[in-house]
Structure 1
Amino acid sequence: MQRSTRERLKATLRRGEEALSPRVLRRTLAELQAVVDAQVGEVEGGRRAQGVIDWYQHATPEQRRDMWLLMSEQFLQDPQRVKEARAIYDAAVGTPDEAAAEVMYRRATVSPRRRLLQRMSAAQGGIRFLVEMRAEMQAALKSDRRLLALDVEMEYMFSTWFDVAFLDLQRISWDSPASLVEKLIKYEAVHDIRSWSDVKNRLDSDRRCYGFFHASLPGEPLIFVEVALVDEMADSITPLLDEEGAPADLERATTAIFYSISNTQPGLRGVSFGDSLIKRVVDILKAEFPRLKCFATLSPIPGLRSWVQKNAPAELVAALDDPLALPAKSPQRRQLLGWAARYLGQEKQEGRPLDPVARFHLGNGARVERLNWAADPSAKGLKQSYGLMVNYLYDLKRLDKHRSMLAQGQIPISGAIEDLYL
């Protein structure tokens, strides 16, 4: 059975697979506590934080995990102080002292852990260090819930530090520094970039790519979106990724297709950028290309196949081993489209769309517009969704209406999707 850091700090001997001995664990805790010592100023606190960071950089993965546990379990709010502040606030409700009592209560509930993160962020490269540390923590979180307090605290802090007001939107083009173009190849999460000619195609004259950047992570896009400018809503990813295809005529372009959106920093999981990114990009594209009237995605449906295999009749699942070979009028093809429409238009988890990509776009105010057969015939597309892809439409006049519908538990869909329901 795993011992808490509280038990280990009181012990004399290391047990089992514990990385740090009780003596070293106590010394590490003392060094962390020294960072947030109320008697030292910001400069000295930052210097002490740098010392902890330097130790961490040379520590083993197991030793790093022990430091995470200390930060998570040993830097808690003072429960007595919180209790007293709460009592004062409750007594002040409805009196002139209410506002001041609320401030005192909020201060009492701020954990020393937050102060520790602030001091670490002030060290040279501190924010990058914390983002990378949280990324490293993600695998351990799945098996050790003791780290959850630290993870949630970091997500809260990052949501403040990486607020969209502090982000810089930049276009990424073929003329951008090679190091930045290489980041696109590295971080592309939807449709793998196969070669330099592939990435050049995605940055051609009829394409646009934009990313959000933060001063603390220079040269690192936090999220980027790839856009194709075309004359109609795209129903297949194949021509968009065709390196030999001729660029579209921008004079005829009426539609902007968002065909790939990739988050690049696992350490910023839970920090939302996509909504603001799409809004900003739409404004830029409208200004550059006034003829654009339609803004839509061509999106994967990553959870579809596994959901169909769990919920659809066994005979249908068996008939879908080679979906691309199904004739246009086959009943199995019609049934699969019906199950996909149900998955996107009805299935929810905790009141939100079940599919993660649907959850993102519908949360931004889009609606489920159209299902596209054999839109992604790649091995990945077949594995995820039998090759199906979906268009989410960003109707700029109805974004608020669609958000309101979603908040009331109704997924916005087009008539074409509704007609596919089984």
Structure 2
Amino acid sequence: MTLLADLLNTVFERRHRRQTPETAEDGRPLTELAMALVGSAGETSGLALAREILCRYDLLEDADKLDFFQVLASSMNIDPETVRSSLDEYERNPSKSSYRAFASAVEPARQELIRRLNRVPGATDKLVKMRADLLRLGGDQPELQALDLDFRHLFASWFNRGFLVLRPISWESPAHILEKIIAYEAVHAIDSWDDLRRRLEPTDRRCFAFFHPSMPDEPLIFVEVALTKGIPGSVQALLAQDRAALPADEADTAAFYSISNCQAGLASISFGNSLIKQVASDLAAELSNLTTFVTLSPIPGLTKWLHQTGLSWNPEEPDTMQALAAHYLLNAKSRGGLPFDPVARFHLGNGAIVHAVHADADVSDKGRAQSGGTMVNYLYDLPRVAQNHENFANTREVVATAEVQALAGPVALPKTEER
């Protein structure tokens, strides 16, 4: 652990003082309070305004929240004429003052509003929820998409890897954290406390989550890991109620079988690549017997792609589904040249390769619906991950084992390009 991580852990362990809702004393409209906060020079008065804005925002109905966002998008936007004139001045006379004027002109006032709101203890969580509201209510409105870019710009700094704390989640973790693991699991639903216990308590199971010191009770993303002998090809076998636990020192493989993002307000803020690499590195240091690091991943875009390309398939024919899945993973691309499948984009972009495709690997209703039951292993070869990442970023080439390439080969389909 680095000194920074130790300091962050110390901060993390401190419980934030809970902010109790206060009765609004300022009768001005919420948007007027926002304008006043941006123009406020006093720290004490600014904190009081910020606290009241956050308190009153929480009480708004959706229609009023949308109105609030629209005012921020229009009234706190940049002024193009000021931007042009300040850029002209900087070109004529590049200096500290002219650069400062240009930098100020190109930053909308709403960014400063978000910063000042975040000065209130416990406000980071509220701002993440505010962005979730923005995405839910106005994600398709161009003027609000610009406002969202301001949130994303600030969140990318506030939630960068240096501020995140990696914590193991075990059956001994606090109940309120375990409840959120159940609620946020997005890949393979956790049906009960007994189900959760089977994923956390055995010697061959691990779970890790990223937290932020300003949100100590809220996991940002978590990964569930199975320690196995050999590479697994079936999630129902991994999660079977009657399976025998494997001693951790007898495992040779760490299989990442579920990765769940927890905060809708942090969409497009990337944590997963850092999480997987950090967990793999930590497990390799803890258990020298581990030699293989893979995922057992869903293929969520497969049946959607089959529908879009007008292909017919029979999910009751596993060999056919397996071949179609292999072809899809290697050849189905978006118009930008990236893989059509979102999970493939994620893991290949992290530096993994397509290692194996399995039929009847997820026979749940969800697994059948999204991929005809097929799943895929992405292999993380730790010494080669960085180079694989660079190659994929430069060439968009999907690297796969010879077995997967052979499996995809017999499928009589052209390479396709979809939206």
Residue number in structure 1 paired with 2:323:
338
CA distance in 1 between partners of 2:337 and 2:176 (Å): 42
CA distance in 2 between partners of 1:26 and 1:50 (Å): 14
3-state DSSP class of the match of 1:397?
A: helix
Residue 210 of structure 1: CA displacement?
A: 0.4
RMSD (Å) for aligned C-alpha atoms: 1.9
Residue number in structure 1 paired with 2:275:
277
Residue number in structure 2 paired with 1:57:
58
Q: Does 1:394 align with 2:380?
A: yes
3-state DSSP class of the match of 1:413?
A: coil
* Corresponding letter in the other structure for 1:29: T
Residue 103 of structure 1: CA displacement?
A: 5.0
* Corresponding letter in the other structure for 2:401: S
2:357–2:375 Cα contact (<8 Å) kept? yes
Q: Does 1:359 align with 2:345?
A: yes
Residue number in structure 2 paired with 1:29:
31
* Corresponding letter in the other structure for 1:347: A
CA gap of 1:243–1:336, structure 2 versus 1, over 3 A, is closer
Specify which of 143, 146, 149 is matched with residue 146 of structure 2.
149
3-state DSSP class of the match of 2:235?
A: coil
Residue number in structure 2 paired with 1:417:
404
Residue 305 of structure 1: CA displacement?
A: 0.8
3-state DSSP class of the match of 2:248?
A: coil
Q: Which has the higher contact order (CA 8 A, sep 6+)?
A: 2
CA distance in 1 between partners of 2:229 and 2:30 (Å): 61
Specify which of 131, 135, 140 is matched with residue 134 of structure 1.
131
Residue number in structure 2 paired with 1:182:
179
Specify which of 285, 289, 292 is matched with residue 291 of structure 1.
289
CA distance in 2 between partners of 1:30 and 1:334 (Å): 63
Residue 207 of structure 1: CA displacement?
A: 0.6
3-state DSSP class of the match of 1:419?
A: helix
Which deviates the most, 150-159 or 101-110?
A: 101-110
3-state DSSP class of the match of 2:224?
A: strand
CA gap of 1:393–1:212, structure 2 versus 1, over 3 A, is same
CA distance in 2 between partners of 1:78 and 1:309 (Å): 46
Q: Deviations over 1:319-354 (max 9, x none)?
A: x1xx24x3xxxxxx4443332222211222223221
Q: Deviations over 1:60-89 (max 9, x none)?
A: 221111111111121112323211221133
Specify which of 195, 208, 211 is matched with residue 210 of structure 1.
208
Residue 104 of structure 1: CA displacement?
A: 4.3
1:185–1:193 Cα contact (<8 Å) kept? yes
2:319–2:359 Cα contact (<8 Å) kept? no
TM-score by length of 2: 0.86
CA distance in 1 between partners of 2:386 and 2:285 (Å): 22
* Corresponding letter in the other structure for 1:30: E
* Corresponding letter in the other structure for 2:214: S
2:203–2:247 Cα contact (<8 Å) kept? no
Summarize the alignment of residues 220-369 of structure 1 with structure 2, pairs less than 5 Å apart.
220-311=218-309, 313=311, 316-317=312-313, 320=314, 323-324=315-316, 326=317, 333-349=318-334, 350-369=336-355
CA distance in 1 between partners of 2:188 and 2:269 (Å): 23
Tell me the percent identity.
39
3-state DSSP class of the match of 1:211?
A: strand
What is the total number of aligned residue pairs between the two structures? Answer: 380
Residue 139 of structure 1: CA displacement?
A: 2.1
Residue number in structure 2 paired with 1:83:
84
Residue number in structure 2 paired with 1:375:
361
CA distance in 1 between partners of 2:249 and 2:300 (Å): 34
Structure 2 residue ranges without an equivalent (≥5):
1-26, 412-419
Asked which structure has the greater CA Rg, the reply is: 1
Structure 1 residue ranges without an equivalent (≥5):
1-24, 327-332
3-state DSSP class of the match of 2:162?
A: helix
